[in-house]
Amino acid sequence: QVQLQESGPGLVKPSQTLSLTCTVSGGSISSGGYYWSWIRQHPGKGLEWIGYIYYSGSTYYNPSLKSRVTISVDTSKNQFSLKLSSVTAADTAVYYCARGGYSYDVDYWGQGTLVTVSS
């Protein structure tokens, strides 16, 4: 069974860059057929898709975050990563990594990690 696990700092200072990594187990990122996503949830709010990456490296970013987001993949470590620059308190959220498929499904999710932006 595929499992995803987010890791990274739980506290980031304003104006700095938020960096998270998602480690995938039970399946290979480079096997193809899937896209690897970052999704966030502000406290007590709904879900927001940040973007995704294919194993080939091609990406899609939410237009509202595009100028600040970079998603990359490291197939040798079976990981993909998120960088969000120039963060503010509005970026405080639970960040999830998830797997999406070519059937337009998002099936497996990580447990999520809370990132707080504060000085």
Which residues of this chain interact with other proteins, rule CB under 8 A?
46-49, 60, 62-64, 96, 103-112
Cβ at position 12, least distance to other proteins in Å: 21
Token output for 118 = 């504060």
Which residues face 114 on adjacent strands? 94
Complex with other proteins: residue 67 or 76, whichever CB lies closer? 67
Residue 14 C-beta: closest distance to other proteins, Å = 25
The widest CA-to-CA distance across the chain, in whole angstroms, is 42
Comparing CB distances to other proteins, the nearer of 8 and 16 is 8
Q: Are 82 and 74 within 8 A, CB to CB? A: no
What the block records as the tokens of 76 is 């040798």
Residue placing its CB nearer to other proteins in the complex, 58 or 72: 58
CA gap 111, 97 in Å, rounded:
8
93 neighbors 38 (Cβ within 8 angstroms) = no
Cβ of residue 15: shortest distance to other proteins, in angstroms? 26
Taking the least distance from each CB to other proteins, the nearer of 36 and 96 is 96
CB of 111 vs other proteins, minimal distance in Å: 5
